[in-house]
Amino acid sequence: MSDTTSNEPSPSFAIFAGICALLLCGMLFGASLWILAAISAGGVLLVNKFVSATWAQSTVASRQNIPSEIKVGSLLDVKLQVTNTSRIPIFWILVEDLLPRWAVQFDPPTLAVEGDRIKVLLLWPGETKDLEYQIRCNRRGYFQIGPTVLETGDLMGFYRRYRVGSDPQYVTVLPEIRQLGAYEIGSRRPIGEIRMRDNVMDDPTRLRGIRRWQPGDPMRSVHWAATARTGTLHSKIYEPSSIAGATLVLDLHESTNPQHNEPFRSDVAITAAASIAAWLHESGEPFALASNGRDAADRIRTEGWVGDHRVRGEATAAVEMLSESDRRRPVLIESGRGPVHLKQMIRTLARLERTDALKLSELLVESESRLSAETTVLIILQQATPETIASIVSLSRRGRAVAVIINTHDINDYSSIAGPLIACNIPTHHLSTKESIADVCRKATLR
């Protein structure tokens, strides 16, 4: 532990200066009582400093391991043990387990604490006491639990000591996955695994039946056996099919995801993306992810965490997120199938945060070469600037199958964004609440 550093003189320094002045006056004027008082005060000051230092150095805190992943709504048990390793009692020590301030501000909070994460303890020599509480994780995310800050000092308040007792641990709260009622967003690729309701492209491997030949039918579709039997031209009828895979493009830029809508709207977008990915996995279809958001785990790896704090305020600031990010690389997961690929997708979606780096139009330009040509580019956004709409239309005109999910509660906001896209034959869908996720991908076959 370390003393609190400040530009202002500490109370102990002022007392020490007073003792020196009293001792000097006693020696100059021959006042033995003054000298005795100065020596006694100095002794008390030294004893208090020794006691506070001993209490600080002899306190050990340890944290019980917590799960690295849990689901939304689950309870997380946190247990800390604080031990006095010295031979003298510690009359008071303040133990606080820190949580990110932004995670406990909303109503209901992102992390709802049940129990006490702050305690003042009295520890006898060799005694160990527990600090236990529970956290109900109401929203998805990547959260830092801890560090544990220990604060103690002498009984007269001359010295205060602070220390980080245990390093933080991190937990990923996985997003909620909802069952889709239907998914009818198909790419322009024929001969796929699923049958489409609308005629995207005839699949020559799926013969549905025959009918009389009509002007305009291609000669390659003539059913020659039926024609020979009846003496009248007949044409084959094929079932339309398509690949239903999707590359989920998730916009999490701060300018188009305003703070007054958070954290609800971004959680709706993440839940929708996770639900679509889970449905595609169950159907054996490919899925991928591209986002301009920031991966919280990547933030921790690049920014790190400083474990030596001079004051308690700095320890508290260590669990706060930086307000700006200069990270310009998008979060990309290549197209794939299987449970491992789905797990990676869900984990990444859980950790995504808003950022001020790449805008959606810049993301589409940056990642277009890495987007799968076999899947539909399914864009989820809250707001769309003219540059964003132009980028989406341009992507569609270059041959990509594009669909847009507009994540807004107001139908007027949806209409203003959807109008220019519908005029360019780009399907749009209104995502108003989490309850609408089940039907948001219905009736959306691309032509």
Q: Is residue 308 part of a domain?
A: no
Tell me the range of 52-56, 203-207, 418-422 where mean pLDDT is highest.
418-422
DSSP secondary structure, 375-426, as one string = SEEEEEES---HHHHHHHHHHHHTT--EEEEEE-S-HHHHHHHHHHHHHTT-
pLDDT of residue 48: 79
* Cα–Cα distance measured from residue 118 to residue 108, given in angstroms and rounded to the nearest whole number: 21
CB 373 within 8 A of CB 327: no
Q: Tell me: do 274 and 232 sit in the same domain.
A: no
| 141 in the same domain as 279 | no
Beta-bridge mates of residue 195: 241
CA dist., res. 150 & res. 160, Å (int): 11
In a domain, 430, yes or no: yes
pLDDT digits (tens, 9 = 90+) for 327-360: 568 899 999 999 999 999 999 999 999 998 899 9
Please give the helix or strand (H or E) that residue 236 lies within, else none. strand 234-242
Residues 113 and 51 in one domain: no
The string of pLDDT tens digits covering residues 367-399 is 988 888 888 899 999 999 999 999 999 999 988
Q: Quote the longest CA-to-CA distance of the chain.
A: 138
CA dihedral for 7, 10, 16, 17, sign (positive or negative): positive
- DSSP secondary structure string for all residues of 80-148: EEEEE-SSS-EEEEEEEE---GGGGSSSS-SEEEEE-SEEEEEE-TT-EEEEEEEEEE-S-EEEEE--E
Note whether residue 265 is domain-resident: yes
Q: Do 433 and 268 meet the contact criterion of CB atoms below 8 Å apart?
A: yes
> Does residue 207 carry a pLDDT above 70?
no
| Cα torsion 265, 267, 272, 277: sign | positive
Verify that 43 and 137 share a domain, yes or no. Answer: no
**Domain hosting residue 389, numbered range:** 246-293+330-439
Q: How many CB atoms lie within 10 A of CB 447?
A: 10
Residue given tokens 């291609």 in the structure block: 218
55, 73, 95 - which closes a domain? 55
Are 235 and 252 part of one and the same domain? no
Res. 262: pLDDT tops 50: yes
pLDDT at 141: 92
Mean pLDDT of 49-64: 88
Residue ending a domain, choose from 40, 55, 70: 55
CB 170 within 8 A of CB 14: no
Together in a domain, 209 and 115: no
Read off the pLDDT of residues 268-281 as tens digits, 9 standing for 90 and up. Answer: 999 999 999 999 99
- Looking at the structure, tell me whether residues 348 and 280 fall in a common domain: yes
DSSP summary character for residue 253:
B
Packed helices 386-397 and 360-367: angle between N→C axes, nearest 10 degrees: 30
The domain total for the chain is 4
Establish if 363 belongs to a structural domain: yes
